[in-house]
Amino acid sequence: MKKIIAALAAALMISVFTTGCFGMGQKAAVATGDEALSQEATDYENNFEGLCNYLASFGYINPVSDNEDVTYVSMDYELVGADKGRKFTEQTKKKATIEIYEFNTDKKNATADEVIKSVKNDGVFKIYDLPEVKALLSDNGKYMMIYTDKSINEENTESDEYKLRDEIVTKFKEFHK
């Protein structure tokens, strides 16, 4: 009986972590003025909203849709020691999922230190007894991204999906080096 309860608890934790069930759907702030037209990272503030608006300027994510539908889920970012986190559920160029987290690099906690170190060293992190999660850090170490697209074939580097992921990863990593 204890094994069944433990298995159910583990399944629930995996579900919560991978789907962002702790968060409520919300709309992101919309870039305004010159910022809305720019595709230069330095034209955006070096913060979570700036990164989201920068990625949106390329059409990688859609923080607000035309019909006001929710396009992202707020994640339980404390699980990874972050200050903010969102999982974008509607992208304008691809139906992949993109999770973005922001860490306070001036005042990290033990969980953040462990996650960041693991991602830097191995490209993955693990919390609790859940499976490892592939992730990457921005060059400035302030942001983490989890990019999931099950249609990518790692051996087919010429596919549109593979090229798009590489393009998004490059823009993400370069944001405010």
Instruction: Tell me what pLDDT residue 84 has.
Output: 94
The residues facing 84 across adjacent strands are 102
pLDDT for position 44: 93
- Torsional sign, CA 165, 170, 176, 177: positive
Taking residues 155-175, report their average pLDDT: 92
Query: For residue 137, what pLDDT is reported?
Result: 96
User: Average pLDDT over the chain, rounded to whole?
Assistant: 78
What is the average per-residue pLDDT within 122-135? 93
CA-only gyration radius of the chain, Å: 17
- Contact 18/70 with Cβ under 8 angstroms? no
CA 161 from centre of chain: 17
The whole model's pTM is what?
Answer: 0.75
Q: Where along the chain do its domains lie? A: 2-174
Residue in the structure block whose two tokens are 């060293």: 121
> What are the distances in angstroms from CA 127 to CA 17, 63, 74, 168?
10, 28, 18, 25
